[in-house]
Chains A and B, each alone.
Chain A
Amino acid sequence: MRDVAIIGIGLTRFGERWEHSLRDLMAEAGLSALTDAGINGKDVEALYAGIMASGRFVGQEHIAALLADQLGFDNIPATRVENACASGGTALRQGYIAVASGIHDIVAVGGVEKMTDVTTSEATTALGGAGDQEWELNQGITFPGLYALMARRHMHEYGTTVEQMAAVAVKNHLNATKNKYAQFRKEITIDEVLNSKPVADPLKILDCSPLSDGAAAVILAPLDIARKYTDTPVKILASTQATDTLCLAERGSITGLKATAVAGEKAYKASGLKPGDIDVAEVHDCFTIAEILAMEDLGFFKKGAAAKAISEGETALNARLSVNTSGGLKGCGHPVGATGVKQAVEITMQLRGEAEGRQVSGAEIGMTHNVGGSGATAVVHILERTN
């Protein structure tokens, strides 16, 4: 296995991008990544693209070949990767495997979703497919409903409060104000979250990540030739993935995601690092409760201790550990297929020292954590600055 580095990154602004189609968005992010790496489409040997539900959202399948053509790649193998909201992170891992194995040198990884062309109830139905269609969605349990069930149980077992959950949204919106790519560049207050429209009790609309359009891309290369392309390659120290039952009710516990814990443990083992070594993390805050679960499952806090720590500012920008500096899914937006790749773009910016007003000082090691559905898939990457 060879060491792998990220040599180029590209991102679109997230949000309602009405005037831009799915292929426009991918072209915008892809072109930025190619330009950043100083290569052309003809240099790319393979593409892995994370897209969750383009068939439901825009009626287009067979997306990877379409994107490879639109990006000017040269009849290369192109593969769509679908793992619900973890499609992007999984695509990154497939790209990593392709380069690490020696099969390809220069690989493009993309993630994209165009979600705002359909109504909210159509989108709710499409996202419901991330859970168990037969035993959850068909029972009227929406995707926010699944996280609401986890939140209620976490409140019951650990005394977590709606105010502490709201603090996650407040922190991530504040970070998003410093990110020009973010969907919401507006601060919110605890009271605004608590008084926002109920979606699935105890979760309100401001506990939920939004429907978004957007795309992200990274270019991968073997570390030993990465400096041909960039002075600031970012090394991938670990790329891990785990699964769990699709149906929430079939899990022993719902106050944590076992897939996250397993992928996290594997990532620490592969990198020889521990939670305390991480300077900056992008974690999967599709709902405020999800960031609390992630902080505990990834070992940053003891079970039941994260909500209080977050609300006391321990994961604010440049605090003990900076979490979701991009604004996370909550503040930056959540075009589902793009999210896992965007997390890697944000951490790369942080490790290169290019994160502008939201830069974590002296960031050396970063983590990304991408979840599919209510936790049936989790993907973790640990990235390291090399310059």
Chain B
Amino acid sequence: MEKASAGMWRKIDSRYNLVGSMCERCGTKYFPQRAICRNCGKDTKMLHRKMSGRGTVYSHSEIRVPAEAFKESAPYTVGIIELEEGPKVEGHIIDNGKKVEIGTKVKTAFRKMYTDGEEGLIHYHFKFIPE
């Protein structure tokens, strides 16, 4: 995953503060941030909007065979979360002993995501925790 390191330092606002976009022209909300509104194209007027971090589980899966960077965390649960503002986002669901089902209410928590390469650089990212 070392190749992706630089990318993890971009969009820090989205990764750390759950900042998405809202098109002022048509009201459509997006996460992650993007430059061009699907409805408005070149007439887009994009604003940044921090999401509340609350939402419900839209779908979920327990990953048993992970990609290289997550070898040490497997098995772990991931899901698609429908944020209360509307956009859906994918992420880790933290195991706090509560059962995870479609419809389970979750909120964001800021956690270590994985350790990168030999130098052990730790990447942080939002995750979701069942309420």
Contacts and interface: CB of A to CB of B under 8 A. Distances in A.
Contacts of A198: 62, 64
B102 interface: yes
A200 B4 contact: no
26 contacts: A122-B68, A133-B7, A138-B69, A139-B78, A139-B92, A139-B125, A140-B67, A140-B92, A140-B113, A141-B78, A142-B66, A144-B65, A145-B61, A145-B63, A148-B61, A149-B59, A152-B60, A153-B59, A156-B102, A198-B62, A199-B65, A201-B62, A249-B58, A249-B88, A249-B89, A249-B90
B59 A201 contact: no
Given A138-B1, A140-B92, 9 more contacts: A128-B67, A138-B125, A139-B125, A140-B63, A140-B66, A153-B58, A199-B65, A200-B61, A201-B61
B58 A121 contact: no
Contacts of A134: 4, 7, 11, 32
A100 interface: no
Nearest to A205: B65
Interface in B22-54: 30, 32
A150 B32 contact: no
Nearest to B79: A149
Interface in A127-184: 128, 133-142, 144-145, 148-150, 152-153, 156
B67 A125 contact: yes
B68 A139 contact: no
Contacts of A135: 32, 89-90
Interface string A107-136: 000000000000011101100100001111
B66 A152 contact: no
A248 B61 contact: no
Contacts of A122: 68
A200 B91 contact: no
Contacts of A236: none
A92 interface: no
B8 A124 contact: no
Given A133-B4, A139-B90, A140-B92, A200 B65 contact: yes
B67 to A, nearest CB: 5
Nearest to B61: A148
Contacts of A150: 59
Interface of B: 1, 4, 7-8, 11, 30, 32, 58-71, 73, 76, 78-81, 87-92, 102, 113-114, 125
B102 to A, nearest CB: 5
Contacts of A19: none
B65 A152 contact: no
Contacts of B68: 121-122, 124-125
B35 to A, nearest CB: 14
A134 B68 CA distance: 15
Nearest to A247: B90
A292 interface: no
A173 to B, nearest CB: 21
B102 A153 contact: yes
B28 to A, nearest CB: 12
Contacts of A138: 1, 4, 7-8, 69, 113, 125
A120 B65 contact: yes
Contact of A139 (B59, B71, B91): B91
Contacts of B32: 134-135
A172 B91 CA distance: 33
B25 to A, nearest CB: 19
A250 interface: yes
Contacts of B11: 134
A47 interface: no
Contacts of A140: 63, 66-67, 69-70, 73, 76, 78, 92, 113-114
B23 to A, nearest CB: 14
A146 B113 CA distance: 18
A199 B74 CA distance: 11
B61 A149 contact: yes
A68 interface: no
Nearest to A136: B90
A254 interface: yes
Contacts of B60: 149, 152
